[in-house]
Amino acid sequence: MSKLSFKITLFYFLGILVIFILSSAVVYNILEHQQVESELESLQERGNSHRDVLSNNFDQQTINHVVLMEEKAMTDVIIVGKNNQIIESSNDAGRFLQKNWIQQKDGIVEGDWRAGKFLVTISHASNGNKVIMLEPTKYIHHLMGELKQQVAFSLFLLMLFLLGSVYFLSYMIIKPLLSMKEATVKLSKGEMLKIKESDRKDEVGDLARAITKLSVDLQHIQNTRKQFLTSITHELRTPITYIKGYAGLLKKDESRFGDIIYEESERLQVLIEDLFELARMEEPHFQIDPEPTELNQFLKQISERVRLKFEEKQVRLVLRTDKKNIVKDIDHARFDQVLLNLLDNALKYTPAQKSVFLSLDDQRIEVMDEGGGVQEETLPYLFDRFYRVDSSRNRETGGAGLGLAITKEIVEAHNGNITATNAENGLKVVIDLRGISG
């Protein structure tokens, strides 16, 4: 219901339909009024004409002539004498005469064509006689019925036009926009693309060509970044190995500077290894090797491996597994890396005497700490490369901001999804397992 195509179609359809109905109603009322007025005016003039003739020659021959004229018309005449008795009428119309008609003054006696059977006018002669004219309203009903049929036919044509317009909007505008939306989703994943609407010569074509050019530019930037990342990582690994080796020799001589150099070289080596890991993941031939794995047992093994580190910091690690077996196709080494990263991150920010919870059900794996959480505005960037929630963090907790980025890459390589939200007492990271086969 919220799609642009539906909104445009609904607005377009209702707008034209309302305008058509209102304009048709106005035109219908005007035509109806004009038609009835015209019929009454014509009826009155016809009665006045007969009255004038009968005023000059009120004899049987003239009366018969007037009656004969009306018998062949769609109107009827009733000639009433001075004593209000019917002298003559056409087509036996006298049987419809009502007493109150005779008492009316010159003009319209009955003008409501919907309620009555006749339109009625009366014309008084100078000699006291009266000419009453009748026109059956069935003719007006028939005429208005035909007008309604024409309006209904026009509405049918309008509906056809609107359906054609909807198709035009969908095919010429909405469909290309949806196509470009799908293209931008692929673009966000780093794919290079060419949109078929690029050949169009209108604004939609301009937009398609702009997105295509953006795709090419982004692909070039991404390739350049990958090449740089791979090259710099390879170039740094060798010298850092030498630095770390010679710093180890200085440590043996109990040099304070040797300790500092060795510690920093270790930190730098971890950073380079993380960069190398990211570079490998972005290579086209990178792949995972999934195999069916029972996750309850898998999580138990990991929790046992890290429990000693948690006990050293006096942080409780609480494991909550599912009662039923949960089997998913995962790469053991890679998913092991994911969970160790998340648990290590939770341990860093959880104070002593607090808890970290590792939970599993058939839809998700959750790692929740009691470290106080993070600011809401930082949540969307937690899995970005080199992003650090607090740029002033000390060396004990200050990483390079690559661990969660690597975690996200591995989870998505399994067709899973990972998100982070603030829980009541800390941060909760959720791995959605529904996209992972099993």
Percentage with pLDDT > 90 across the chain: 17
Of 136, 135, 137, which Cα lies nearest the Cα of 113? Answer: 137
Q: pLDDT tens digits for 346-373?
A: 998 899 999 999 999 888 899 999 988 8
User: Is pLDDT of 163 > 90?
Assistant: no
- What lies within 8 Å, CB to CB, of 193 at 6+ separation is 183, 186, 187, 212, 215
Sole residue written with tokens 């006096």 = 314
pLDDT of residue 280: 63
Q: pLDDT tens digits for 82-120?
A: 888 899 999 888 899 888 888 888 899 988 888 888 999
**DSSP assignment of 270-321, as one string?**
HHHHHHHHHHHHTSTT-----EEEEHHHHHHHHHHHHHHHHHHTT-EEEEE-
pLDDT band at 133 (very low <50, low <70, confident <90, very high): very high
pLDDT of residue 393: 39
> Around Cβ 1, how many Cβ atoms within 10 Å?
5
Q: Does residue 282 or residue 380 have the better pLDDT?
A: 380
What does pTM read for this prediction?
0.46
pLDDT band at 304 (very low <50, low <70, confident <90, very high): very high
In terms of DSSP bridges, do strands 355-360 and 316-320 run parallel, antiparallel, or are they unpaired? parallel
Percentage with pLDDT > 70 across the chain: 77
Mean pLDDT, range 237-265, rounded to an integer: 70
250: left (phi over 0), alpha (psi -120 to 50) or beta: alpha
pLDDT of residue 368: 92
pLDDT of residue 126: 79
